[in-house]
Amino acid sequence: MSFRDVFDLEIAVDAANRDGAVEAIEAAATRRGREAVAWDRQAIESVSTLSLARLLWVDDHADHNCYGTVALERIGILVTVATSTEAARFYLQQMPFDLLITDLGRDAEPEAGRDLLRMVRTTRPELPVIVYTRKAEPVRAGLLAEGAAAVVDLPGDLIVAVQDHRPRGPRRSSTPSGRRPRTLGGLVPARRSRDWSRPGDGDRPTATPGAGGRPR
């Protein structure tokens, strides 16, 4: 079996990973002070079998996305992190991806995410781009008009957007008849959410150094 064939396998997601993904998303929402905001938990809880997918997440403060990354990995999304458009461009040239998440502003580049979206729409028009920003509503219509698949600002909405746009079923072939799905279990040990010592917009554990306030 080649590495590419792995993405054609049907994978069974066990309860521990589903529960762990929900916990991670709710921890991220708590970190952002938005734990009371309802989200569609069925996007995770209804998952039983799926195909693996590869996602590129572009954010200059990637440590703020720890819980989001854990949630995605638990439901079969293999996450590659880039902290700049230059790094993202390199990864896109070298590896196949099924999805891309980008922040909007990066330090002195307030339109970095929009510029990346425009580049991807030109070079990889089939690749869904999800913009994950601090305040989605003021910029949503413009980014959707430019080709974004979704524009969100909450961890739960991010997971729903990823689930809506991830590939469904094998890319090249079907699971042979009679073969049981492989189980996606034990990849990340199940654990309870951390307690939070201070508020912030970030999605990282409190043990991670640095100021909150991402994504932007």
Half-sphere exposure (Cβ direction) of 117: Cα atoms closer than 13 Å: 24
Angle between helix 66-74 and helix 155-165 axes, rounded to 10 deg:
40
- Domain containing 172 — which CATH number? 3.40.50.2300
Residue 215 lies in a domain: no
- 8 A C-beta contact, residue 94 and residue 54: no
Higher pLDDT among residues 182 and 99, named by residue:
99
Residue 88 lies in a domain: yes
What secondary structure letter does DSSP report for 173? -
CA distance 43 to 21: 10
Q: Is 43 helix (H, G, I), strand (E, B) or coil?
A: helix
Residue 160 lies in a domain: yes
CA-closest candidate to residue 86, choices 53, 119, 127:
119
For residue range 95-150, what is the model confidence (pLDDT) as tens digits?
A: 999 999 999 999 889 999 999 999 999 999 999 999 999 899 999 999 999 999 99
Residue 189 lies in a domain: no
* Residue 28 structural domain: 3-184
For residue range 15-55, what is the model confidence (pLDDT) as tens digits?
A: 999 999 999 999 999 888 776 678 888 889 988 888 999 99
Lowest-pLDDT choice from 123-137, 142-156, 160-174, 177-191: 177-191
Q: Which pLDDT does position 4 carry in this prediction?
A: 74
Phi, psi angles (nearest 5°) of residue 95 = -135, 150
For residue range 46-103, what is the model confidence (pLDDT) as tens digits?
A: 888 889 999 999 999 999 999 999 999 999 999 999 999 999 999 999 999 999 999 9
Tokens representing residue 169 in the block: 């079923």
* Bridge partners, residue 143, by sequence: none
Task: Please give the tally of structural domains in the chain.
Answer: 1
Q: Which pLDDT does position 139 carry in this prediction?
A: 97
Residue 205 lies in a domain: no
Q: Which pLDDT does position 175 carry in this prediction?
A: 37
Higher pLDDT among residues 9 and 187, named by residue:
9
CA-closest candidate to residue 152, choices 34, 36, 66, 70:
34
Task: Supply the pTM of this predicted model.
Answer: 0.79
Residue 52 lies in a domain: yes
Q: Which pLDDT does position 172 carry in this prediction?
A: 53
CA-closest candidate to residue 129, choices 165, 155, 100, 157:
100
Q: Which pLDDT does position 201 carry in this prediction?
A: 42
Residue 34 lies in a domain: yes
Is residue 173's pLDDT more than 50? no
Is residue 204's pLDDT more than 60? no
Residue 197 lies in a domain: no
